[in-house]
Amino acid sequence: MNPGSPAPAGGGGFIILGTFLVGLMLSQMPLPYLIEWARPEWVAMILIYWVMALPHRVGMGTAFFLGLFLDVIKGSVLGLNALSLTIIAFLTLLLHQRLRMFPVIQQALMVMVLVGINQLLFHWMQSFTGYTGDNLIFLLPCLISALLWPWLFVVLRGIRRLFRIR
C-alpha cells in the first residue's frame, strides 16, 4: 500500500458509521421554526444509500439499531424510528438491484416514495401515542429529501470509492 493511499479494499466500517453519525447530527441541527417541517430525512437517505450500495453489509439490523439511537436522540417513543427505518431497509433490500440500475433522477423519485413511506409509518405510529396532526405537511421532508438525493448520492459514492468500501 502506498503511503498516501486510502484504506485497504473491503474495510470501511468506521467510514459507514461516520456517515451515519453525520446524518444523526444533521437530523438534530437547529433550524428556524418556519423551515423545521422541511428538514430532510438525512438518516433515512443515508440508510437507503448504504443498503442499496452494500446490501451484504448494511441491512435491517443496522436500520433497527440506528432507529433506536434516533429514538433516544429525538426523545420519541422507543421503537418508532426503529420500526419505520427497518421497514425502509427491508423495502430497499427488496429493490436494491433495480435501484442501482436507475439513473439518479429516477432514484430520487424512489427515495421520495421510500421516505414518504417512512414519514407515513412514523406519523401513523405517533397517532397511537396521542400525537395527531391535521394536515399533510409532515410529508414535506420526502420532497426535500428527493431534491437533495442526487447530491447526497454523489458525495456518498465518492466516499465509498475513495476509501474502496466493498
**Residue 7 in domain:** no
Question: Computed from CA positions of residues 15, 35, 52, 103, in that sequence, does the dihedral angle turn out positive or negative?
Answer: negative
SS3 category, 28:
helix
Distance, in Å, from the CA atom of 115 to the CA atom of 94, rounded to the nearest integer, reads 15
What is the full DSSP assignment across 65-101?
HHHHHHHHHHTPPTTHHHHHHHHHHHHHHHHHHHHHH
**Residue 65 in domain:** yes
Distance, in Å, from the CA atom of 116 to the CA atom of 21, rounded to the nearest integer, reads 22
CB 39 within 8 A of CB 31: yes
Q: What is the pTM of this model?
A: 0.92
Total domains in the fold of the chain: 1
CB 50 within 8 A of CB 58: yes
What pLDDT was estimated at residue 127? 86
Write out the chain's pLDDT in tens, 166 residues: 454 555 455 589 999 999 999 999 999 999 998 898 899 999 999 999 999 999 999 999 999 999 999 999 999 889 999 999 999 999 999 999 999 999 999 999 999 999 999 999 988 888 888 776 778 888 999 999 999 999 999 999 999 999 999 9
**Residue 82 in domain:** yes
**Residue 5 in domain:** no
Instruction: Tell me how many degrees the CA angle 110-137-82 measures, rounded to the nearest 5.
Output: 60
> Which three cell numbers mark 69?
439511537
> Which three cell numbers mark 96?
436494491
CB 147 within 8 A of CB 108: yes
CB 87 within 8 A of CB 53: no
What pLDDT was estimated at residue 1? 47
Task: Report the amino acid identity of residue 111.
Answer: V
**Residue 3 in domain:** no
**Residue 6 in domain:** no
> Which three cell numbers mark 46?
443515508
**Residue 37 in domain:** yes
Task: Name the residue range of residue 91's domain.
Answer: 13-162
Distance, in Å, from the CA atom of 146 to the CA atom of 148, rounded to the nearest integer, reads 5
